[in-house]
Structure 1
Amino acid sequence: MKNPLDPLLLDNQLCFALYSSSHLLTKVYKPLLKELDLTYPQYLTMLALWEEDGVTVGALGDKLYLDSGTLTPLLKRMEAAKLLKRERSGADERQVFIHLTDKGRSLKRAAASIPARAVAATGMSIPEMIKLRRQLTKLQSSLAE
């Protein structure tokens, strides 16, 4: 019989609960984002850019918790899709700024229904979602320190 307090049980692991929930939620988003021809990482990138356009690759990577080795190929594919453009800084060539194109900005309207549709798939109420988001944000802050 399993000891429900065993710290090495898979079902007792916070990391597994977060990992598996994230994986399943990403699967919910996949068909929704297919309508926009975006992958989940591209969607997160667009969310960040809709919030603040004209950021550096470094600032975007920090916001998304992605390193440049992961972010650069993602941005290149999005640039090829004409959603954004990358521009080197005139003052410092090491800095690359990301700017949305008209196509990238207009995609925001098409994406407007996605959050509500994803929340509906969770079966959770809005207050439950807000509470969970606050708890996860607190966890994220603690882990980032």
Structure 2
Amino acid sequence: MENQPPYAPGAPALSLKLDDQLCFALYSATNALKKMYRPMLDRLGLTYPQYLVMMVLWERDGLTVSEIGDKLFLDSATLTPLLKRLEAHGLLTRKRAAEDERVVRVSLTAQGKALKADAASVPAEALGASGCTPDELTTLRDTLVRLRSDLMANG
């Protein structure tokens, strides 16, 4: 019994069929989610990754690039161009820390702060488009957070 696989042979989790794959379900759901968000974010003048950065800063302004990257699971090579574009649009500023020039602190401008009010309807619109109840989405989110955590710990 000790050496038995955790799943029965032929179980969908072990299949090579595309529709049985968790990775494909997540990938295709993410693509559908981004497509659903696009018109809402176009109204704000943001791409989906830029929206994520703005949400992080609306939650806590004045973070370092590293702190934003940690929150979004992005490296600085991916994050820096996003921040440059947001800065060019007047939504944030980047400033090197006086105590350590390697550290760059990111702060919202008045325009970036004001955009939060315009974005306030996005979560409700997304909920409506999902066809799920708030409780269903909360359960799904919690399951995905646990999955991400487990995958990062074991991968």
TM-score of the superposed pair, with normalisation by structure 2: 0.89
In the TM superposition, what whole-angstrom CA distance separates every residue of 1:109-129 from its partner, at most 9, and x where no partner exists?
000000110111111111111
Aligned length: 143
CA distance in 1, matches of 2:75, 2:40: 26
* Aligned equivalent of 2:112: 104
The reply on whether 1:25 has 2:66 as its aligned counterpart is: no
Which structure 2 residues correspond to residues 5-20 of structure 1 after superposition, within 5 A?
Answer: 5=12, 7-20=15-28
CA distance in 2, matches of 1:51, 1:142: 26
Once the 2 structures are TM-superposed, how far is the Cα of residue 4 of structure 1 from its aligned partner? 7.3
Q: Percent identity?
A: 54
Once the 2 structures are TM-superposed, how far is the Cα of residue 86 of structure 1 from its aligned partner? 0.1
CA distance in 1, matches of 2:87, 2:96: 14
The reply on whether 1:62 has 2:59 as its aligned counterpart is: no
SS state at 1:87 partner: strand
* Aligned equivalent of 1:126: 134
Q: Which runs of 5+ in 1 are unaligned?
A: none
Flag the structure with more relative contact order, 1 or 2, with Cα contacts below 8 A and sequence separation at least 6.
1
Once the 2 structures are TM-superposed, how far is the Cα of residue 144 of structure 1 from its aligned partner? 2.3
Question: Which 4+ residue blocks in structure 1 deviate beyond 2 angstroms?
Answer: 3-6
SS state at 1:108 partner: helix
CA distance in 2, matches of 1:140, 1:4: 22
Which structure 2 residues correspond to residues 29-44 of structure 1 after superposition, within 5 A?
Answer: 29-44=37-52
Q: Which runs of 5+ in 2 are unaligned?
A: 1-9
1:37 partner letter: G
TM-score of the superposed pair, with normalisation by structure 1: 0.95
CA distance in 2, matches of 1:135, 1:102: 36
CA distance in 2, matches of 1:68, 1:104: 21
